[in-house]
Structure formats: structure tokens, C-alpha cells
């Protein structure tokens, strides 16, 4: 696996795009719940540093996040915008970059959509705005099976971040975003 990781690393240049899930990657995930407001939003240790490192590696960094709490009526779009504005401000202060954020507000139990991961609607929207995106040159970082299926759906490379993955799938794995960023930047 190490040789496979090294050859993968050599292919990445500034023409690549990074898609990031939000909850569990950038901020702490609330198990069996939702980050509903700014008071509940907490960066994962090392995430801001990771985004600073990744800004020097990737041409585009795009957050794609399912936000079912909106569809369930637990939070408003304004609540989500407040969270994202705060997140973007802190990322810029840490010398990082997020070029765009796409979210799916739908409650899949009530309505069908093409944007809830693992569906690829958010990636297609990103490509509309950034036509230079080549899905064959994308990395999708997430902490769930739906994130990895999203990666497969767009023809990108899935990278699982988290302490354990119960799904028997062959993806690159890192404990957290900072570990992945250091690996890609060839830092020890």
C-alpha cells in the first residue's frame, strides 16, 4: 500500500481539486445530531493548519456537505450561513482557503434531490462554477461511506479520514485532515 500511496502522491499538482466533507473533517461531528448553530461549531484540532497546507497544494478546495437539519426544520439557512461565514473567516485567518461551499438542505425522507451525497449534484454544481475542474483529478475527503461513494460517482479518489472504517473498501485512510495534509505536502 505504501508504494501505491507514493505513486498517487507524485500525480498531484496544482491542477487538482479537493472536495471536503465538513462535519467530521473540518469540525467536530455531533453523533446522531446536527451542528445547528454557531455555538455548536467547533474546529477539529489541526484542521485549520491542514487547510493552510492544502491551499498550497490544490487549485480548488470545495466543501460539499449534507445539511439535513435544514430540511427537518431544526435549523435555518441563515443558521448555516452564520456557521459557514465564521468557518471561512477562521480559515482565511489561518492562511487557508476554501473556494466554495455547496450543501444539500434536503431531508431525504420527505423529498428527492440530486444533491444529497452520495449523489453527485454538488460536484456538478461546482464544475458549473469552476469549469476547469477535472473529476479525474479530484480527491474527496470524508468520514462516511456516502463520501466514498460520492468520490466513486465522480471518478475521483476517495480518502477516508477517521479512526475506524467499518466498511470493507479500499481507500486511502488517515486519522485526521492534518495527517493527510502533511502526507500530501511530504512533511514528516
Is the CA virtual torsion 5, 9, 10, 12 positive or negative?
Answer: positive
Cell numbers given for 154: 465522480
For residue 22, the 8-state DSSP code is S
Active-site residues: which are they?
A: 21, 23
- Residue 12: which residues within 8 A CB-CB, separation 6 or more? 57, 58, 139, 184
CA distance 61 to 164: 25
Radius of gyration of the chain (CA): 16
Amino acid at each position: 500500500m505504501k508504494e501505491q500511496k507514493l505513486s498517487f502522491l507524485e500525480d498531484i499538482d496544482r491542477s487538482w481539486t479537493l472536495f471536503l466533507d465538513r462535519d467530521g473533517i473540518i469540525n467536530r461531528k455531533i453523533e446522531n445530531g446536527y451542528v445547528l448553530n454557531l455555538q455548536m461549531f467547533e474546529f477539529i484540532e489541526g484542521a485549520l493548519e491542514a487547510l493552510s497546507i492544502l491551499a498550497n497544494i490544490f487549485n480548488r478546495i470545495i466543501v460539499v456537505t449534507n445539511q439535513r437539519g435544514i430540511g427537518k426544520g431544526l435549523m435555518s439557512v441563515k443558521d448555516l450561513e452564520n456557521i459557514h461565514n465564521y468557518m471561512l473567516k477562521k480559515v482565511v485567518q489561518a492562511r487557508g482557503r476554501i473556494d466554495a461551499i455547496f450543501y444539500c438542505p434536503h431531508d431525504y425522507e420527505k423529498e428527492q434531490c440530486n444533491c444529497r451525497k452520495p449523489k453527485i449534484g454538488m460536484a456538478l454544481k461546482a464544475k458549473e462554477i469552476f469549469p476547469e475542474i477535472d473529476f479525474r483529478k479530484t480527491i474527496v475527503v470524508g468520514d462516511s461511506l456516502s463520501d466514498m461513494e460520492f468520490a466513486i460517482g465522480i471518478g475521483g479518489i476517495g480518502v477516508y479520514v477517521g479512526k475506524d472504517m467499518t466498511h470493507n473498501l479500499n481507500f486511502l485512510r488517515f486519522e485526521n485532515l492534518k495527517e493527510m495534509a502533511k502526507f500530501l505536502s511530504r512533511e514528516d
